[in-house]
Structure 1
Amino acid sequence: MAIADRSRIVRTKGQENTARGKELMAGILLVALVAALGIRNLVPVDALAPAIVTLLFAIGATTAGFALLCRSDRFRVMWLDLAGGLTFIGVVLSVLIEPDQMIRLFALSDQPQ
């Protein structure tokens, strides 16, 4: 009976998870948060959201690149999941960017508005 088989649900002492996916995702998001707080003083307020989204995309691309270098299939899937999660967060945050912010980001600063 499949319902009574708890061998896949309950871990025994010899079956610890070596992937540490949750801790790794929390660490990557913490690094992104610290970098976003550091960027806050370098860019104007209007350019903050596009800079954070670009940062998330860059970290996601770096994570995906690291996944391609990884030899173990188990860890490769975990790294690709992390890269996909960071990209998804970047896409969700990009919805909050107004078109005027992007125009001001790429417009020349010496032109009158």
Structure 2
Amino acid sequence: MAFLDRSQIVRTADRAPPAPGKELLAGILLTALIATLAIRNLVPEDALAPVIATLLFAAGAATAGVAWLCRAGRFRVMWLDLAGSLTFIGVVISVLIEPDQMVRLFTLSDQPE
């Protein structure tokens, strides 16, 4: 009955609580959604997707900046993962932008304002 002998079990060192990565990503995406809803009436409909993609790229860059300021290696990896996921979401949204939509944003209109 060697498997009942619990004297051989060695307690491992207590680990630090896990980093709140999922909560931070949900908070950042919720903030981006609220910002999108707020600017939806301020920009033309054709410009909404590029603004959202730019917003996510800026959030990813800010998150990467926080990662470089973080001293602990475990937290730095978490922040870099968050920055990469925000950048990836921004790339996915930018793929959905039609080329004609971008051309209309940058060409001058002949119509008077």
The alignment's TM-score, normalised by the length of structure 1, stands at 0.81
CA-CA distance at 1:60 after TM superposition:
0.5
Identity %: 73
Letter in 2 for 1:37: L
In structure 2, runs of 5+ residues without a counterpart are 1-13
Change (3 A) 1:39 1:23: same
User: After superposition, what is the alpha-carbon deviation per residue over 1:12-56, rounded to whole angstroms, capped at 9, x for unaligned?
Assistant: xx5463411111110011011111111111100011111100110
CA-CA distance at 1:86 after TM superposition:
0.4
The alignment's TM-score, normalised by the length of structure 2, stands at 0.81
Q: Could you say which structure has the larger radius of gyration?
A: 2
Aligned twin of 1:7: none
The structure whose residues are more often helix, as a share, is 2
**Superposed structure 1 runs of 4+ greater than 4 Å apart:** none
Letter in 2 for 1:83: A
Q: 1: distance between equivalents of 2:108 and 2:65? A: 34
Calculate the aligned-residue CA RMSD, in Å: 1.6
Letter in 1 for 2:87: T
